[in-house]
Amino acid sequence: RFHRGLQELGCASQKVRLLIELFQPSEVVYLCAESENLLSTFDDSKIYVIGGFVDHNAHKGLAYERAKAAGFQHARLPIDKFFTLATRKVLTVCHVFEIISNFCVTNSWATAIEKTVPERKGLEALDGKTDSGADENLESSKL
């Protein structure tokens, strides 16, 4: 089947394929807020999918459930290791991508999260500091 948006852009020859058709489940890591697995670092051999592409307020947890059903690995950003949030811990796709980008530059989850999460989320450092040096204490769970 063809994706309508691709047809409108003149890319009618591009066929939409499911993730499971393109990669083995062991190669995919879904990033979703509901996962019990904390992401500590990135593995270059994995494909990371930001779960928000399918989540909406009416479909909470959908990405997580789809990841489990497909046999994909899943993980969440380690926000709660460094901070508390006054609101739900679910972030927009853009914020997750920006946190990942900042992490790749700084190699510090605390710094990346603090630089990205909007004020309206009520981010507060667990140790009372703004730049936590606790990244070294994050349990290694390379997914």
Which residues does the annotation mark as catalytic?
55
Gap between the terminal Cα atoms of the chain? 32
Q: Which helix (H) or strand (E) holds 70?
A: helix 62-70
Q: Which residues contact 86 (CB under 8 A, 6 or more apart)?
A: 121, 122, 123, 124
